[in-house]
Structure 1
């Protein structure tokens, strides 16, 4: 079964693209069902020490980093579709072993398997979407829908999981982990049955005697630095640093911290598609520049909130989260479309893998950096604003380089 993206409308998602995005949502629901409660399951239900549970969580995240690089190599060497299917089945096995609760060694092996499967899967996402999209506008739209389904699925899964675990036994935790494994298997089946191979010549079906040498260049190197800044001092801080600072520095309640996170999530869900339509019309570097400046402004609002009290402080924090979330809506469609645009021919898998590996690193570094900054001499909010401004400045350099007129050739007479 083959698919020809050129035969589709230039602005409409193809049927396989819709299936791929829908499957992403199914898998995200499974992740939401159990991942937010994984530490509780390991520590309180299985009886592992806090240190042992922490080691397992770090192992899960750490295994994904090198495997994202390896997955990118496999995508360039073989088929991103095959890599994605295999990676999802690997995750299925890992989550079923976690659900079995067979002891520390088995759980350690299981989380390593999950990390391997996660790392292998991520580099296949951008090449698959690129192969199913006739134009850049469709790529942007598909990337936006993927991010929308990710957030919606995680929210629905976490909400349902919380309800099911209200007065639950150990068996409920185990069933939720097993359900996550099943969701990965369902996604693998969807890709197998409903996301066909592109016709010969598609960028994500590589059949070469040898791999093209990966020479990313300065633009891509700067893009990776921007990714690290955006994730470490942006996305990761919404889940870790912002709640911590609201409680410790701004004397806010846990309910306020949770409410601010809920506001950001709702804005992302409501604003993702409208913002993506704007991203379609502008150059992706300029969308990321605007996003960086919006985030810098949002963090400055957080800093200003420290000078207020009561209702005005809460209102300013809400505006901060709305501003951040609207900027976040541009992140996935602009950044990953730009990765696909900058990647040299034949290296899209490795380019995607490196970007996802940096994402994992930033997500891991973010929480401890938040704790460090909470007791530091430099205000937390100003550090975040400076990082966002730096990221916008680096994107401006990339933008200038991509739009620079080529130098005329020297003619020797």
Structure 2
């Protein structure tokens, strides 16, 4: 049954959720707090605490994304065959083992194994949880759920990052051991949900008799024009978005805008604050509107944010530059509130129950591919002093997202595009 009730306020949204949806959403911020404790400090731990050289530490960090990308495809197929619950429990067990190993890793080999195990979880968690969400909620409520979930993930990671920043000390290695063990322990919360209140939720189903073509494997899925366009859009959005958050943005802010590291920290805090404060208001505004038009607006917002960051290079090492860097992340965050509810909703409205895992795996692969390519391109451009070219590439890619959104609009139905079709009046 399609859940299209328009809800007013957070209470209305909460009342409209089925019980399983409430269980899933109620613990998101707590689950991700553990990840926030370790995410900003892992490379510092490897380099400054365990003594691995910086190049090796960066290579080890890259294992998470590479392994996640490799695992995503098989993970999506396994989700459709055995159900999201089973695969998520395996992924979370891998995460627990990986974080525990990393907590005590005193040599690169042990650290590599731990990071590979963490990458396995990353590869299955995105398609798994998205498939689980889509099996519990549908219609306009699903779009709202993806948005609220994104805000809570950011809240958990943001709070975890702040706590970790005050707690960890490179002169006290045991503080890093503690945060990795807490990250491992936080994974027990979703495991308990999957084995308890959500144990009856099924995501896998048998394909309708005689159904072939676009309903079957990955080859048929990625041949669909709508999937091609939304996947290209996702890849480019991640290339100019999250692919730059750990590479291009900090490097530009330090090398070109010449702001202190504390300013970069405040910028990330501002990013989280904007998402948490504005996500629900944005969801109410975009409800019932064409998702592709929302993506088009997001593309313009992101283009403006990159121009704003580029302008900080004209006034380096000034208060204006610091304000501009923080403003960049704030404007960028507003664009995120437009992107995150819409793209996953399009993928899941294109999918059917028997191939939902594979559709979400395609989404995850496009996301991870862009996130991997982004830092590489940023490094090449910024290392050669092509600062203006770097900003120009980001802006052009943002405008390209808008073009791809319009192309996608012509290839999906109004229902998939988030427009609730009203029933004709009966005399």
TM-score range, shorter chain: 0.7 to 0.9
Distance 1:162 1:258, change over 3 A: closer
Cα drift, residue 271 of structure 1: 1.0
- Helix, strand or coil: the match of 1:401? coil
Is 2:133 the counterpart of 1:123?
no
What are the within-5 Å matches in structure 2 for residues 6-405 of structure 1? 11=7, 12-101=16-105, 103-133=107-137, 135-166=138-169, 169-198=172-201, 204-207=203-206, 212-214=216-218, 215-216=220-221, 217-307=224-314, 310=318, 314-343=322-351, 346-374=354-382, 375-376=385-386, 378-402=388-412
- Helix, strand or coil: the match of 2:113? helix
- Helix, strand or coil: the match of 1:25? helix
Distance 1:333 1:7 in 2: 16
- TM-score, normalised to structure 1, is 0.87
Cα drift, residue 21 of structure 1: 2.3
Distance 1:316 1:25 in 2: 29
Contact 1:16 1:196 in 2 (8 A): no
Cα drift, residue 251 of structure 1: 3.3
Distance 1:98 1:306, change over 3 A: closer
- Return 5+ residue gaps in structure 1 as ranges: 405-413
Cα drift, residue 122 of structure 1: 1.6
Contact 1:238 1:261 in 2 (8 A): no
Distance 1:76 1:14 in 2: 22
Q: Residues 299-351 of structure 1: CA distance to partner in whole angstroms, max 9, x if unpaired?
A: 22333444557555555554443322111111111110011112356321111
- Return 5+ residue gaps in structure 2 as ranges: 8-15, 415-427
Distance 2:225 2:3 in 1: 35
Greater shift in the superposed pair: 355-364 or 67-76: 355-364
Cα drift, residue 386 of structure 1: 0.5
Cα drift, residue 123 of structure 1: 1.0
Distance 2:322 2:114 in 1: 42
Distance 1:46 1:117 in 2: 24
Contact 1:22 1:149 in 2 (8 A): no
- TM-score, normalised to structure 2, is 0.85
Distance 1:116 1:352 in 2: 16
Greater shift in the superposed pair: 243-252 or 65-74: 243-252
Distance 1:319 1:47, change over 3 A: closer
User: Matched residue pairs, number?
Assistant: 395
Q: Residues 88-109 of structure 1: CA distance to partner in whole angstroms, max 9, x if unpaired?
A: 1121112112223253322222
Which residue in 1 is equivalent to 2:418?
none
Contact 1:24 1:150 in 2 (8 A): yes
Distance 1:249 1:51 in 2: 23
